[in-house]
Structure 1
Amino acid sequence: MMSVLRSGGRIFIILLLNGILENSLLCAEVKEGEILPPTIHKLMKGYNKYLRPFFDNGPVTVAMSLDIASIDTISEINMDYTATIFLRQRWTDERLIFEGNKSLSLDGRLVELLWVPDTFIVDSKKSFLHDITVENRLIRIFPNGTVLYALRITTTVACNMDLTKYPMDKQTCTLQLESWGYNINDVMFCWTRGNESVSGLDTLRLAQYTIEDHYTSASEAIYETGHYPKLIFHFELKRSILYFILETYVPSSLLVVLSWVSFWISQSSVPARICIGVTTVLTMTTLMMGARTSLPNANCFIKAIDVYLGICFSFIFGALIEYAVAHFCTLNHPNSNIVMYAHQMGGFDEEMNGMVTTIAAENNRAKRRKEKAAASLAATAELELGPSSPNSSEPMPEPPEENPNSCLTVLDLLRKVTRKAANCCHVENPHLIDNYSRMTFPLSFIFINLLYWTYYLYL
C-alpha cells in the first residue's frame, strides 16, 4: 500500500486527505446536533460537491435576486461606481431532498461542502466579501431540495459615461452577472421575479444623482469558449443640477454682469475700466480651471459646462475689447474733447514739418559743397595735365544729382496712409459705443442663454 502511494503521486494523497477532512467536519457538526439533522447527514454521505445538480438530466436553473444596500460613490474620473449588494441565488438539488415541512438554516461555513454556482460580476474592478464578524454568507435548504445561497458583496464596477451634457446628463449603468465555467448547457440564469427581483433602490439617497428608472434583462455572453448565461440589471441615474447652478453657473453669470459695469464708467477713467476688465477675465479663468478638477483630463468631447463657461468668457473678454475700441475711436475723433491729445497731435505735425525743412536745407548745403569740391578737382586736374595732355580735352564726369525732395515724399506718403487707416475706423460719435453696448451685450447674453438651456434640457 505504501509503495503504491509513493509511486502513485501526490494527487491521490491530497484527495484522500480532503475526503478525511470533510468527513471529520461533517461528523463534528452532526455530533453537536445543531446544524445538520441525521437525515441530512445521511444524504450528505454520498454527496459530491464537484458535480452539479441534474448532471445527466439537462441544465440546472439558478434564479437570482438583488438587494441594493448602498451606492457609495460614482466617479466620473474613473468611470465607475461602488455599490454594496445582497446577492441571492436559488437552485434545486435533488440530492438534498428530505422529509419535513421546515427549512434548515445552515452555518455559512458549510458552503464548502455544497455545490454552488460559479457566478461572477462582469466589469468588476475590485470586489470583496464582508467577513465581520464571520463571512456574510447564508445557506438555507428546503425540503424539496431548493437551496438558498446569499452573499453580501461590495464591488466597484465600470460604467461607461457620456459626459457630453454634463452636468445635465443622464447615465445608464449596469450590473452584469455571468457564469464563469458552466455554459448554457450546464446552467441557466433567470431573475426570480422579473423587474421586481431588484429591491432597495427606493430608499437610496445619493449625493448628486437620483435613480429615475431601472429594469432587468437576460441574455447570453458569447466567448471563444462557448455561450454562457448572463443577467443584466440596468439603472438610470440623473444628475442633480442645483449644486452646479450654485457653484458654477450663477458665479459665471454674475461675472459677466460685472464686466458690463464698465459701460457706465467714463471713457476717460482708463484705470477703472481696465481694472474691471482684467479682474473679471482672470476670475473667469480661475473658475473655468476649478470646474474641470472633478472631470477626466483626457476626453474627446466638449461638455455642456465647458460651452457655458466659454460663452461667459467670450462676453467678458468682449467687454474688455469694447473699451479698447471705444477709446481708440475717441482719440481719433476730430471733435474729441481730449484737448491734450489734440495738442500732442499738433506738436507732432509741427515737429514733422520742422524735420522735413531741416532735411531739405541739409540736402541743399550738401549739394553746394559737392559742386564746390567738383570745381576744385577740375581746376587741379587742368593744372596737372597741361594743354598737351591727351586727356585734357575729355570732360570730367559729373556726380549724380540727388533728389532733395525724396525723403519729403516718403514722409508725406506715410502720413497719408496713416490718416486713411484712421479714417477707416472713424466713428461719428465714439461715446455712443458704450450706449449701444449697454443694450447689445445683455440682450445677446439672454438670447444665447435661451438657446443653451433649451438645447441641453429638452433636445
Structure 2
Amino acid sequence: MLTKVLLILLGTFIILPSRIEGPHVESEKGPSASDDDVYGPKPQAPDKELPPEEIKPTATDTHDRLGKMPTATEILDGILNNYDYKLRPGIGERPTVVTVELSVNTLGPISILDMEYTIDITFYQTWYDERLRFNGSFESFVLNGNLVSLLWIPDTFFRNSKRTQEHSITMPNQMVRIHKDGKVLYTIRMTIDAGCSLHMLKFPMDSHSCPLSFSSFSYPENEIIYKWENFKLEINESNSWKLFQFDFIGVSNTTETITTVAGDYIVMTLFFNVSRRFGFVAFQNYVPSSVTTMISWISFWIKKDCAPARTSLGITSVLTMTTLGTFSRKNFPRVSYITALDFYIAICFIFCFCALMEFAVLNFLTYNRTASRGSPKLRHPRAHARDPTPSRVRVIEHPEAFVCDIEDPEESEEEEGPSCPARQSVRPGSTPRPGGCCKWCEKYCCTVPTCEGSTWQQGRLFIHVYRLDNYSRVIFPVTFFFFNVLYWLVCLNL
C-alpha cells in the first residue's frame, strides 16, 4: 500500500513541472512568430534573399582564383629551379640586347660651386631571356623587389655619378615583369648626383648641357648592346623641378663606343640642356655696378676747392666696386679664366678709379705746379710796359694762381717766347728752369685759364687743364655708353 502511494506522488511531481514549463515556452515563441515588429534576424531570411542561382557563380569564381595561384607558383618554381642567374641570356651564342628608357621625375638643383646636379629618375631596362618562357593562361606576372636577386639583371652603372641612392620606402622601389615569351622588364627608381662640367666663360649669359652617361660595368660590346627604343624619354614637368636659376630647354642623346683595357664598351649619354635666367644676376651685379660707376661722376660737378668731398666720393666708389667684385665670386668655382661678369665689373672699377685720378691730376696741375712756380717769378705789369721787346706779356692775377697770357699773335710756335709760368719765366730771353713740365705737356697742355691769342698750340690738339672737369662730364658718360652697347652686342650674339 505504501509503495503505491509513493509511486503516485512521484508521478505527480514529474507531470506537474512539464505543465508549468509548457505554457511558458509557448508564450515566448508565440509572440515572436506572430509579431512582425520584433527586431532580430529571421531564420529563413538568407534563403529568401540570396537565391541559389546567385551563390553558385560566386563559389565558382572563388574556386577559379584559388586554382590559378598554384599554377603561377608552379610556373615560377619550374622556371627558377633550372635557372642560373649568374649567366646572362644567350651566353656563348649572341650578345644580349638591352633596350633602355628613362622617366625623369625631378631635375635639379644644379650646384655651380661643386659642378654637379641632382636628378630623380625611373630607369627601365628590357631584354629577352629564353629561359624564362612559360605556358599559362596569363600573359605576364610581376615579381617585387625581394625576388629581383633571383634573376639575371644587367650590371648598368652611371659613369659620371658621384652619389647614387636607391629608394626603399616602404619597399625597395624596383620591379621585374616577366612575359610568357621571355621578355623581361626591370624597373628601378633612383636619385643620382652626377657631375656636370660648367663652362662659365659667358657667365651669366651661359648655357650648359649636363650629361647622364651609363654603360655596362663588366660586359663589353660583344656581350651586351644598349639601344634606345625610338629614344623614349618621359619628362614629367608637372613635378616641382628645382632648377631655380636655370630654364630647361631640351634634351639630346648620343651613343658611342669607348676603348678601355677591359675591352670596348657601349656608352649611352643623355644631355639635359639648360640656360641661365638673367634676372637674378642682373639685379645682384650689373645694376649695382652701373649705378656705382655713375655715382663716381658726381665729383665732376663738385668744385675743385672741395677736395674732401671729391676724394671721399672717389674712394667710396672704388671700394664699392671692389666689394661687388668679391661678392660676385663668393659662390663661384675657382676657374682660371675671367667671365663676362668679371670683365664688366673690372671695366666699372676702371671708370671709378679714373674718376678719382682725374681729380688728382687736376689738383696737381692747377694748384701745385702753377702756384708754386708762377707766383714768385712774375714781375709787376708796369715793368713789362717799358720792355722794348716785340713780345708783350700781360700778367693776370687769377683767384687760384698767378698765370701769364701771351698777346703777340705773330710769335712763331717754335720760338721760346713766354707762354706760361710752367714753361719759363716772364723774361723772353731767359732759359727754361730745370724741373719744368715735360715736353709733351708743354706742347699739348695749357694751364692758363684763357689760352686765346697764343700761336704755339695752333694746329695741335691741346688740353685746357682748367676745363678738365668739363671734358670729363662728357667723355666718361659717352665712353661708358658705347662700352655697354658693344658689351651687350657681343655677349648676347655669341
Q: TM-score, normalised by structure 2?
A: 0.68
Per the alignment, do residues 263 and 336 of structure 1 end up closer, same or farther by CA in structure 2, a change over 3 Å counting? farther
Partner of 1:92: 128
Residue matched to 2:426: none
The aligned counterpart of 2:179 is 142
Q: Pick from 202, 208, 215 the counterpart of residue 178 of structure 1.
A: 215
Give the distance between the partners of 1:284 and 1:35, measured in 2 at CA. Answer: 79
Taking the TM superposition and a 5 Å limit, the aligned residue runs for 1:62-81 are: 62-81=98-117
Q: How many residues align?
A: 357
Q: CA separation of 1:69/1:34 partners in 2, compared to 1, >3 Å: closer, same or farther?
A: farther
Gaps of 5+ in 1: 1-31, 344-412
For residues 52-451 of structure 1, the aligned pairs below 5 Å read 52-99=88-135, 100-194=137-231, 196-200=232-236, 204=241, 206-297=243-334, 299-331=335-367, 332-333=369-370, 337-339=398-400, 416-421=433-438, 424=442, 426-429=446-449, 430-451=465-486
Q: Answer yes or no: is the 8 Å Cα contact 1:64–1:197 preserved in 2.
A: no
User: Structure 2 CA distance, aligned partners of 1:55 and 1:79?
Assistant: 40
In structure 2, distance between residues paired with 1:216 and 1:63: 14
Contact 2:447/2:466 (<8 A) preserved: no
Question: Against the structure 1 CA distance between its residues 421 and 59, is the aligned structure 2 distance closer, same or farther, given a 3 Å change threshold?
Answer: closer
Amino acid at match of 1:320: L
CA drift of 1:148 comes to: 1.1
CA contact (8 A) 2:163 2:193 kept: yes
- What SS does the aligned partner of 1:135 have? coil
- Three-state SS of the structure 2 residue aligned to 1:174 is strand
Distance 2:116 2:399 in 1: 64
SS of equivalent residue, structure 2 residue 303: coil
Counterparts in 2 of 1:157 and 1:452: CA distance versus 1, 3 Å:
same
Counterpart contact for 2:102–2:123, Cα < 8 Å: yes
Alpha-carbon offset, residue 36 of structure 1? 5.1
Query: Offset at 1:57?
Result: 2.8
TM-score (norm 1): 0.73
- Aligned-pair identity in percent equals 34
Check 1:420–1:159 CA distance in 2 against 1; reply closer, same or farther (3 A cut). Answer: closer
For the residue of structure 2 that corresponds to 1:285, the secondary structure is helix
CA deviation map 1:155-207 (0-9, x unaligned): 1111122111111111112111100111111111011221x334335864520
Could you tell me whether the CA contact under 8 Å between 2:108 and 2:242 is conserved in 1? no
Q: Please list the CA deviations of residues 96-135 of structure 1 after superposition, one character each: whole Å capped at 9, or x if unmatched.
A: 1123443212111101100000000002111121122222
What CA distance in whole angstroms lies between the structure 1 residues aligned with 2:487 and 2:184? 56
Secondary structure at the aligned position of 1:276 is classed as: helix
Q: CA RMSD for the aligned pairs?
A: 2.6
When residues 136 and 329 of structure 1 are mapped into structure 2, their CA distance, relative to the original with a 3 A threshold, is: same
- Measure how far apart 1:428 and its partner are: 3.8
Q: Which moved more, 1:422-431 or 1:46-55?
A: 422-431
**Residue in structure 2 matched with residue 6 of structure 1 by the alignment:** none
Structure 2 Cα separation of the partners of residues 439 and 135 of structure 1: 71
Contact 2:448 2:466 in 1 (8 A): no
Q: How big is each residue's C-alpha offset from its partner over 1:71-113, in whole Å with a ceiling of 9 and x where there is no partner?
A: 2321222222121111111111111112344321211110110
- In the TM superposition, residue 336 of structure 1 has moved relative to its aligned partner by 7.2
Letter in structure 1 aligned against 2:311: I
Q: 1:191 touches 1:197 (CA, 8 Å); kept in 2?
A: no
The question of whether the paired residues in 2 share the 8 Å contact of 1:35 and 1:106 is answered with no
Residues 34 and 260 from structure 1, CA distance in 2 versus in 1: closer, same or farther, beyond 3 angstroms?
Answer: farther
Distance (whole Å) between structure 1 residues aligned to residue 214 and residue 71 of structure 2: 31
One-letter amino acid of the counterpart of residue 167, structure 2: H
Closer, same or farther in 2 for the Cα pair 1:444/1:44, shift >3 Å?
A: same
SS of structure 2 residue aligned to 1:192: strand
1:206-252 deviations in whole A, cap 9, x for unaligned? Answer: 20111222112222221111111221111221111110000000000
Give how far 1:415 is off.
8.9
The letter of the residue matching 1:327 is N
Alignment-mate amino acid for residue 315 of structure 1: F
Report the residue type matching 2:447 in the other structure.
Answer: V
- In structure 2, relative to structure 1, the CA distance for the partners of 1:428 and 1:147 (3 Å cut) is farther
Distance in structure 2 (CA, Å) of the matches to 1:336 and 1:82: 76
In the alignment, which residue of structure 2 is the partner of 1:392?
A: none
Q: Which has the larger radius of gyration?
A: 2
Higher relative contact order (CA 8 A, sep 6+): 1
How far, CA to CA, are the matches of 2:228 and 2:236 in structure 1? 16
Structure 2, unpaired ranges of 5+: 1-67, 375-395, 404-429, 450-464
Q: What whole-Å deviation, never above 9, does each CA across 1:31-50 have from its counterpart, x for those lacking one?
A: x9599532222121111101
Counterparts of 1:106 and 1:67 in 2: how far apart (Å)?
Answer: 21
In structure 2, C-alpha distance between the alignment counterparts of 1:179 and 1:306, rounded to whole Å: 42
Could you say what secondary structure the match of 2:434 adopts? helix
